[in-house]
Chain A
Amino acid sequence: MFTFDPFRNFEMVRRELDRAFEDLATASTGRRPTLTGMMGSAYPLLNIGQDNERVVVEALVPGIDPEKIEVKVLGDELAISGTLEPRAGAEDGREAHRRERLEGGFLRSVKLPAEVDPDRVTAEYRDGVLRITADKTEQARPRRIQVAVA
């Protein structure tokens, strides 16, 4: 007697799809290193640097309309948010073979190494990297102390 098990059936279909678009590199080496895969779910990946005058944040946000990125600064807190628009797919007659790029909204806030002046923050977007440069507040800058000769 034949019994229909929908879940078992689904499992079979899923496995066949995996095989059809099998990625041999994944199969033999396990998870391949992608930049966004390395740090878990934090998005975007970012670097924070500083010198005496300013703090620099470099975030990897490929393929976004720069107008859709929002940067907020308050004291020593920085928040980057935006939306990665869903890319057209089956509805425009395209068949997807791979869909690895991320979609959807993101928000990441970090503590900066120093307080920055919110009026003196600039952001530029180039080659998929958002680079934020913020001037430190006067109080946050290191000060050279003159050593008086007694």
Chain B
Amino acid sequence: MTTEATNAPVRTVQAESAPRGEATRAPERFVTPRVDIHETKEGLQIAAELPGAAKDSISVVVNEDVLTIEGRIEPSWQGAYTHREWGPTAYFRQFAIGERLDRTRIHAEWKHGVLHLRLPFAEAAKPRQIAIQVA
């Protein structure tokens, strides 16, 4: 069902474009935020989990048809750890967004470690009711 694949408004960009060990842009290791993506009549809603990232470290960038979400966990406790399961790291994830979405009107909200994005459909992509003229 390739038609479904092309119609899916968001898909993850190939790993080649993501920073790897040798990339200069983000040389450190990164983790992938977990996301929920829902579609409504108005557009897409993306909820990405970036727990531990401070709001100022989070960036949402749209470049051509690629949406990039980044964030960073900075160390908080200055003392010694006796047990450690997570630590300073970077969050990184990219999505290809189709031309159905209006990339100039993306709304972002940060709450409880979750980044909520609303990407409205471009006007042209919304279903439109055509008024029928009486001849």
Interface residues of A (CB under 8 A from B): 16, 19-26, 28-29, 32-36, 38-39, 42, 45-51, 56, 58, 60-66, 87, 89, 93-102, 110, 113, 125, 127-129, 131
Contact = CB atoms under 8 A, between A and B. Distances in A.
A63 B53 contact: no
A58 B35 contact: no
Interface string B30-65: 111111111111001101011111110000000000
Contacts of B9: 97
Interface residues of B, number: 53
A86 to B, nearest CB: 11
Contacts, number: 163
A101 B50 CA distance: 11
B118 to A, nearest CB: 12
B26 interface: no
B85 interface: yes
Contacts of B80: 49-51
Contacts of B85: 38-39, 42, 45-47
Contact of A32 (B32, B81, B84, B112): B32
Contacts of A113: 82-83
Nearest to B1: A16
Among B40, B54, B77: residue with most chain A CB under 10 A: B77
A102 B39 contact: no
Contact of B112 (A36, A47, A63): A63
Nearest to A93: B40
10 contacts: A19-B5, A23-B11, A25-B18, A28-B14, A49-B82, A63-B112, A97-B38, A101-B36, A101-B47, A131-B76
B34 A45 contact: no
A24 B15 contact: yes
B8 A28 contact: no
Given A49-B79, A58-B77, A94-B38, A63 B1 contact: no
B86 A50 contact: no
Contacts of A34: 31-34
Contact of B14 (A24, A46, A60): A24
Contacts of B32: 25, 32-34
Nearest to B51: A128
A64 B44 CA distance: 22
A127 B1 contact: no
A125 B112 contact: yes
B77 A49 contact: yes
Contact of B52 (A36, A49, A110, A127): A127
Nearest to A45: B85
Contacts of A29: 15
A49 B12 CA distance: 36
